[in-house]
Each structure stands twice: as structure tokens, then as C-alpha cells.
Amino acid sequence: MKVSKKIYLILAILFLISFIFSLFNTETTHKILFWETNIWAYRIFRLVIAVVFMKSYLDSRKEDQPNE
């Protein structure tokens, strides 16, 4: 199943916004699923996911460009 490249871009932006908002959060832990985690582990998780989606978008866009 092929995912539209715009969806990768939207998800990358959403995760990046989530990461930025977490920087202004004063909590020391965050609950992911059922576990309490350090806020920095949560922030790194969000940032890594955003980077992965952005890389997927850029790779998808690169494939669609004609070779010169």
C-alpha cells in the first residue's frame, strides 16, 4: 500500500509541533501507553519520529522527480 507523500509531511509537522510544545511543558515525566518515562526520553522519541517522517517525505519526493 502506497502512502501519499503529503501524509508523511503532515505527520512530520505534527510530531515536530508536539516536540516543540513539550519543551514548554514543566512536567518531569510523561506517560507513554502505560509507562511513566523521563520527559527527555519522550522528547527525543517525538523528535526521532518527526525526522523519520521528514526523511520518508524527502525520499518519496526525490523518487518522483525526473532524472536529469
What is the predicted pLDDT for the residue at 52?
92
CA distance linking residue 48 with residue 42, whole number of Å: 10
CA distance linking residue 12 with residue 57, whole number of Å: 9
What is the predicted pLDDT for the residue at 17?
92
Total-model pTM:
0.77
Compute the Cα dihedral for 49, 51, 14, 44 and give only its sign.
Answer: positive
- 35-38 and 29-32: which strand pairing? antiparallel
Closest by alpha carbon to 7, among 44, 46, 61? 61
What is the predicted pLDDT for the residue at 5?
76
Closest by alpha carbon to 32, among 42, 23, 47? 42
48 pLDDT more than 90: yes
pLDDT confidence bin for 50, thresholds 50/70/90 = very high
